[in-house]
Structure 1
Amino acid sequence: MAPVTLTFISAIMWGLWWIPVRWIEGMGLTGAQASFVCNMGAVVAIAGYMLIKRVSLRMTPRVVLGAGLIALSFSFYSIALTFSDVVRVILLFYLAPAWSKIIEWAFLKQPWRYSSTLMLLLALLGAYLVVGGDLSLASLNIGDVLALIAGVSWAIGATLIFTGASPQTSALTLATVIWGALQSLIFALLMGETLSPEAGTAVIGISLVLGALYLVPLIGLTMWGAMSLPPALLSFLFTLEIVSGVVSGALLLDEPFGFYRAAGGLMIFGAAMFEAVMTLRAPVSSRTPV
């Protein structure tokens, strides 16, 4: 139960991550810039720890690629929070359990149960309600698209890490935050952004500290969970983020919530929890080559 418990803790922390991201944005940094600076603070902190402890950096290419995809998920998720409603981003990202279940069935040869079909239908219906019952591409903004990509990237990355040789958690965390910094920088450059002088050294310094003190333990817990739990179960457990993120977003930002989003969120969360219970009652086999 240790991986399950710590995954729940990290899920709650991820659900509140929008608060520092929005604060940093309000101080003058864009979402991509904030993600880059926070990841750089995390890089310095975890690299220093590994240097002192002489932790091995040995990782397989599969795990490095998985870390890159999870980093892309984290980066796009953070950036999406500055382009769209917090509630909307979180709920669209949490189609990830559906993608994870499909990957486990297609590539890890896990059995497809009736509950899996029910979970997928509920998750998709929930997403439909979250976007207001509008399936047209015009209803999606850049934040919504980034949230959807983040969910798919998370599902694939978690699968690669779970099926790869397990490295040291700190080494995997370092690889993830390095990937995250590079990806955020590239995104910022593609958007024509630079580190704005108006942001000031104070907010950059606070962002670096935030990356070291908040992002490092958060990603470390997440990576340990990714190595210990099947990707679909990991994604299901992370839906607790919906509770902390959606409730805090609705209360602190006074964002529109309403019946449709509430019903959609409950469908996504309920489907994931139902599948998690079924998975825990009948554990899937351990790592299976993709």
Structure 2
Amino acid sequence: MRAPTGTSLTPVLLTFMSAILWGLWWIPIRYLEGLGQTGAQAGILTSAGATLTLVIYILIMRVRPQISAKMFIGAALIGLAFSAYSVALTLSDVVRVILLFYLAPAWSKIIEWAFFGQPWRHSATLTLGASLLGAFFVLGGDLSLSTVGLGDLIAIMSGVAWSVGAALVFSGGKAEAASITLVTAGSGMVWAILFGWSFGEALPLLAIDPKTVQSLALGLIYLTPVLFITMWSAQRLPPGLITFLFTLEIVAGVSSGAWLLDEPFGVMQIMGCTLIVGAAVVEAVTALRPAPKHAPSA
């Protein structure tokens, strides 16, 4: 297990950027839904576009797609995470889906503590509490279990899949980011097909029509780079840190939802976003802080 201290700044900054883009992912999903596609159908086509792009890139650049079994399973679970997330966005409110996905920091911290031997520090309790409290405020202080629907359950499953997948990718050795991203995109397409099948939905036709072309194009220009950055960073950042950094997705999702969907964004939501960003910054600063040097023994 690599030490979480002394982390490079580059993957942290790239993760911040990809978190914002993931927070806006609901916009293309809802757009495709407006064209008549379900969340599963949109997931199939966008993942297909990303998969095709990555296959072409690997062939042209002659990348050797070598990947360990542990990393393969981790990438496949992350594919499940973003596929389930896309489906959940069409079955529940944007804010609610994002919040329930971001129970993921709890899973990540528990995984690091239980399986990777990381100590449970007071700072972890503080940042975890601030993040979850902020998410609670984002919902306006209302989270009734009696109103949990299918989309909410799928969002929770997405967060669990992300946490386990990120842990496996981080601890699975070295591999080309393109290879890992290809597994993620390809598995995301398979998971989306399974979601559609379980809902009794028809597979989207790969006919050359505007709807299909737009879906594939979104996979190419939006999903591919975001997935690539995510998987590249997942190899370099501990699962707890990368999950906390991705809580910025809540801010991007809630803010854009408030602006474009007239979803609530008042004083409580501002307080929540402040707590979430603060927790992410504390976790990032802690991870970036160099490990203390031990004095040589006499």
Q: Which residue of 1 aligns with 2:37?
A: 29
Secondary structure of the 1:228 match is coil
- Structure 1 length as normaliser, TM-score? 0.90
Tell me which moved more, 12-21 or 272-281. 272-281
RMSD over aligned CA atoms reads 2.2
Q: Which residue of 1 aligns with 2:53?
A: 45
Structure 1 position 223 matched with structure 2 position 224: no
Residues 259, 141 of structure 1: CA spacing in aligned structure 2 closer, same or farther, 3 A cutoff?
Answer: farther
Q: Output the CA distance in 2 between the equivalents of 1:272 and 1:263.
A: 14
Tell me which moved more, 252-261 or 146-155. 252-261
Q: Output the CA distance in 1 between the equivalents of 2:184 and 2:222.
A: 15
Q: Deviation of residue 91 (structure 1)? A: 2.3
Which residue identity is paired with 1:96?
A: A
Aligned sequence identity (%):
53
Q: Which residue of 1 aligns with 2:179?
A: 171
Say whether the 8 Å CA contact 2:193–2:203 is kept in structure 1.
Answer: no
Q: Which residue of 2 aligns with 1:109?
A: 117
Q: Output the CA distance in 2 between the equivalents of 1:96 and 1:196.
A: 31
Q: Which residue of 2 aligns with 1:232?
A: 240
Q: Deviation of residue 160 (structure 1)? A: 0.3
Q: Output the CA distance in 1 between the equivalents of 2:89 and 2:128.
A: 25
Residues 173, 211 of structure 1: CA spacing in aligned structure 2 closer, same or farther, 3 A cutoff?
Answer: same
Structure 1 or 2, whichever has the larger Rg, is 2
Q: Structure 2 matches for 1:118-137, cutoff 5 A?
A: 118-130=126-138, 133=141, 136-137=144-145
Q: Deviation of residue 89 (structure 1)? A: 1.6
Q: Structure 2 matches for 1:1-290, cutoff 5 A?
A: 1-130=9-138, 133=141, 136-195=144-203, 201-281=209-289
Residues 127, 244 of structure 1: CA spacing in aligned structure 2 closer, same or farther, 3 A cutoff?
Answer: closer
Secondary structure of the 2:209 match is helix
Structure with a larger share of its residues in helix: 1
Q: Output the CA distance in 1 between the equivalents of 2:92 and 2:277.
A: 20
Unaligned runs of 5+ in 2: 1-8, 293-298
Say whether the 8 Å CA contact 2:248–2:280 is kept in structure 1.
Answer: no
Q: Deviation of residue 132 (structure 1)? A: 5.6
- Structure 2 length as normaliser, TM-score? 0.87
Deviation digits for residues 77-114 of structure 1 (CA, Å, limit 9, x no counterpart): 11111112212222222222222111111111112111
Between the two proteins, the alignment pairs up a number of residues equal to 283
